[in-house]
Amino acid sequence: MKRLSIKMRVTLWYALLMLALVVVVLALVSVVGDYVATSGTKDALIAAVEDNMDEVEYDDGELEIDDDFAGLKNGVSSIVYTQDGELVVGSIPSGFETDLPLEETTVRTVSANGRTYYIYDREITFKKHDSLWIRGIVLASDSAGLANAAMKSAFIVLPFLLLVAVLGGYLITKKAFAPFDTISSAANAISEGSDLSGRIEIGSGKDEIHRLAETFNRMFARLETSFEQERQFTSDVSHELRTPVSVITAQCEYTLEYGENTQDYREALATVQRQTHRMHALISQMLEYTRLERGTYTIHREKIDISELVQLLCEERSLAPEKGIALTCEVSPNVVGEVDVMLLERLLTNLLNNAYQYGRENGTIRVQLRAQQGMAMLSVSDDGIGIAQEDIPKIWNRFYQADASRTANTAGSTGLGLSMVQQIVKLHGGTVWVESEPDKGSTFTVCIPI
């Protein structure tokens, strides 16, 4: 059964069902039809005989048959016999010859000359005279003719209907299932080929199959976007790694060719070191970022005092001052929330790194934390170079660096820091934005539900 296609299974199922139905209907027609026909005839037979009983009487010793006596009524022949079986009134239907004795029983079925008759006998008793008998005879086959005709038509019509129903059903099922073939061949073509832009085209509609096709199409669109992002990511990564590798290669070639003294080699090595640091930062940030972006990172939320964590990070950071920048920390106490500690640390570190990197020498960085309407509001402000308005939307893109020249020589710059911040905020169901003015400074604000 499992090897059969669904449309064959459906067709087979209702073919069998219809067949069973036809058999049951035919059986019912034959039984009920027969019963109705025979019982109708038998009732007529009994009625005719019993009506005629009242029409036979003795008047002054003379046998008198009333005018109302019906010798033939509704196909029933009524015959009056003496007790000895001599015919008094009535005529026997032609072809009906029987020596069946007169007997008061129920209706009897008699066959004569290949035909079936029903007969019904009743005795009429008189006070002073011998009793008489009335026998009713009716041809069974005549009365059953209608039922027979109905049966015959049922035997012809029902199998024909069965055939039409099965054939019609098969065609409808076939038509209904046709889009599945389209869907599966389209899906095969898309999955076998490298082109993910293909879609399933089965026209418009709102039924289950159209909804399935829509779901598939949405899935293909999603896959296409993911593959495109994947491709873009790989190309971005190779592009980013190519720069330091080219610098190292060029530096080595140059120094090997023209390097004359230890000083030249030291400078070359310093460049190589800077570039490898850059590559190292790039690779480790990329790994972290990929895990975050692909959703393979499982967020470990724990209830912590965010105020303490921020305070601690700021204190650690101010232990090693950079560029003479002063770090101030204004933290409202007891901001408690369920967050991923590692990710929150990474977020604040990235924002602080940027603030130091793009901050003014001997300037200030302000870290603020407060709770507001069920949200933890964390902001990092610097008074550094700021960001041009047109660059603001782009800084969240991975590998984007607003001014490559100012970061090119910075080993830790990867252009991934803010993308990571954005992913972390997203994982916590929060938002992040920046307010900035060139040469005045920037304020990054993170808002996370707690």
Contacts with ligand ADP, residue ranges (CB under 6 A): 354-355, 358, 382, 384-387, 395, 400-403, 407, 413-419, 442
121 vs 240 by CB, closer to ligand ADP: 240
Q: Based on CB atoms, which residue is closest to ligand ADP, 55 or 382?
A: 382
C-alpha of 49 from chain center: 72
| Closest CB to ligand ADP among residues 82, 397 | 397
Neighbours of 302 (CB within 10 A): 9
Q: Which is nearer to ligand ADP, 90 or 386 (CB)?
A: 386
CB of 362 to ligand ADP, least distance (A): 16
Shortest gap between Cβ of 450 and ligand ADP (angstroms)? 25
Report which of 103, 73, 62, 70 is spatially closest to residue 89, judged by C-alpha positions. 70
Q: How far is the CB of 244 from ligand ADP (least distance, A)?
A: 14
Q: Which is nearer to ligand ADP, 7 or 278 (CB)?
A: 278
| Terminal-residue alpha carbon distance, the chain | 57
Give the nearer residue to ligand ADP in terms of CB position, either 66 or 437: 437
Residues 448, 374 contacting (CB under 8 angstroms): no
CB of 311 vs ligand ADP, minimal distance in Å: 21
H-helix or E-strand spanning residue 183: helix 145-192
Q: What is the full DSSP assignment across 221-236?
A: HHHHHHHHHHHHHHHH
Q: CB-wise, 136 or 384, nearer to ligand ADP?
A: 384
Rounded to the nearest whole angstrom, what is the least distance from the CB of residue 247 to ligand ADP in the complex? 17
In the complex, least distance from residue 382 CB atom to ligand ADP, rounded to whole angstroms: 5
DSSP E strand stretches across 257-334: 302-305, 326-331
CB-count burial class (<10 Å; 0-12, 13-18, 19+) for 354? buried
- Which residue number has the CB closest to ligand ADP? 417
Sort 247 into a burial class: Cβ within 10 Å, 0-12 / 13-18 / 19+.
Answer: middle
Closer of 22 and 355 to ligand ADP (Cβ): 355
In the complex, what is the shortest distance from the CB of residue 329 to ligand ADP, in angstroms, rounded to a whole number? 17
**Contact predicate 374/449, CB 8 Å:** yes
Kindly state the smallest distance separating residue 185's Cβ from ligand ADP, in Å: 45
Asked if residues 101 and 123 have their Cβ atoms less than 8 Å apart, the reply is: no
Burial class (CB in 10 A: 0-12, 13-18, 19+), 46: middle
- In the complex, the smallest distance separating the C-beta of residue 398 from ligand ADP, rounded to whole angstroms, is 7
| Closer Cβ to ligand ADP, 307 or 442, answer by number | 442
For the chain, state the CA radius of gyration.
52
Residue 307 has which token pair?
A: 């105020």
d(CA 275, CA 271): 6
- Farthest CA pair distance, the chain: 170
